[in-house]
Amino acid sequence: MLWLFGAEMVTVLLIYDFSSFNFEDYLSKILIFASFALLSLITIAVIYISYISWKDKRRIEK
């Protein structure tokens, strides 16, 4: 009977540890990281396009 009680306690602890994993926090961190990565990518793309446009305008004026 003691062994069965011990097995139930392990099962309860496993279920509790799994339920303590907060999926919303994990998803929130991924979304924050993805938004910063996308913002950085868009910023770099705008700077690159502006530079190419400026260089092309100088080429046409010559």
Pairwise pLDDT comparison (6 vs 52), residue with the higher score:
52
- Residue 2 domain-assigned (yes or no): no
Q: How crowded is the C-beta side of 11, counted as CA atoms within 13 Å?
A: 6
Residue found by looking up tokens 């306690």 in the block? 9
Domain interval for residue 46: 23-62
- Residue 40 domain-assigned (yes or no): yes
The number of distinct structural domains making up the chain is: 1
pLDDT of residue 21: 62
Q: How far apart are CA 55 and CA 40, in angstroms?
A: 23
pTM over 0.95: no
CA dihedral 12, 15, 21, 22 (to 10 degrees): -100
pLDDT per residue as tens digits for the range 8-57: 555 555 555 555 567 778 888 899 999 999 999 999 999 999 999 999 98
- Residue 33 domain-assigned (yes or no): yes
Write the CB contacts of 20 (distance below 8 Å, at least 6 apart in sequence): none
